[in-house]
Amino acid sequence: MSLEYNTRYARQVILSEMGIEGQKKLNKASVLIIGCGGLGGPVLTYLAAAGVGTIGLVEFDTVAESNLHRQVIFDTKDIGKKKIDVADQKIKDLNPHIKTELYPQGLNSDNALEIFSKFDLIVDGSDNFPTRYLVNDACEILNKPFVYAAIHQMEGQVAVFNLNGSSTYRDLFNSPPSPENAPNCATGGVLGPVAGVIGSLQALEAIKIISGIGKPLVDEILLVHFSEMIFRKMKIKKDLSRPKVEKLIDYEAFCASEIKNPLAISKNEFLELDNFTLIDIRENYEHEEFNIGGENIPQDEFEIENIRENEKIVLYCSSGIRSKTLANKIKAKNPLLEVYYLDCSLKEFI
């Protein structure tokens, strides 16, 4: 080990639990991080600083101005750039000894097993249920441990799943919530430091697992209520009766409502539609960052009374959740109005 190597990691190697052997384990390890945003940013920063030998990044999105309050690895000058490229440069600037592997595409059932098989540990920094179930099932099939986290408003949670046969995400949440009840930062909001703290805890758990120090959050989940700074743990019991996951499925369909809403319009149906009024009900800044046309009327400013009875309205938002809620509300108030919502992610139009 070179003098520079010893100097760089001296403050953690001096820990009796870590030592040179623990540092060597970090240097030989490979970790895949799903997402380079609010959670993934602090994870990749601290893992690179700690000397994790190979860091893989999965990210397909670009930097938007609305990301900057919580995704602090990005600067204003990065707006419009690919997140994965900025994150990769961040790692190289911080620690040139680290090897990176980049996957600038969306994670799906076709590529997850191939990508995951190359890494020792997975850290899930995603923000949606389809990806969380995909990560869990791919890790269960490959027998890979992963560090989970989620944030919403002033709350966060962290857990370690599938480590040496421990409980998995499906033992905590056997089935996903309905799309309209799923927590969403775009509608519910989140404070930036919440992402920073929870992402840092994920990085800490990853380092503990790799180096073998401390006790990881196995068979339990850490729940943090930041409004009152309450930290508590909840036990997770492994469901031995649950069949082992043997193949990946369509996770978008798995997490969608089983019965199609009559007001829902798919992307293909939308593209074939004519003679309609398109309205983006997201906030103004979201519309400016990317839109598929139409008028921009934020949900809170929308007046149902302004819709004419002979007018066909199609509402859209980022994922269909907000527009579905508003469409149902309008239809309940006046069943004669012809109102629909775009039931897909805007990312499909990019």
Q: Which of 139, 185, 255, 344 is an active site residue?
A: 185
Amino acid in position 80 = G
- Cα 298 to Cα 30, 220, 302: the distances in Å are 44, 40, 6
Distance CA 178, CA 73 (A): 32
Q: 350, 348, 295: which is closest to 80 by C-alpha?
A: 350
Q: Which of 36, 139, 317, 344 is an active site residue?
A: 317
- Active site (annotated) includes residue 255: no
- Active site (annotated) includes residue 185: yes
Give me the long-range contacts of 137-140 (CB less than 8 A, separation at least 24).
137/170, 137/245, 137/248, 137/249, 138/112, 138/113, 138/248, 139/168, 140/168, 140/170, 140/244, 140/245
Q: Give the catalytic positions in this structure.
A: 185, 317
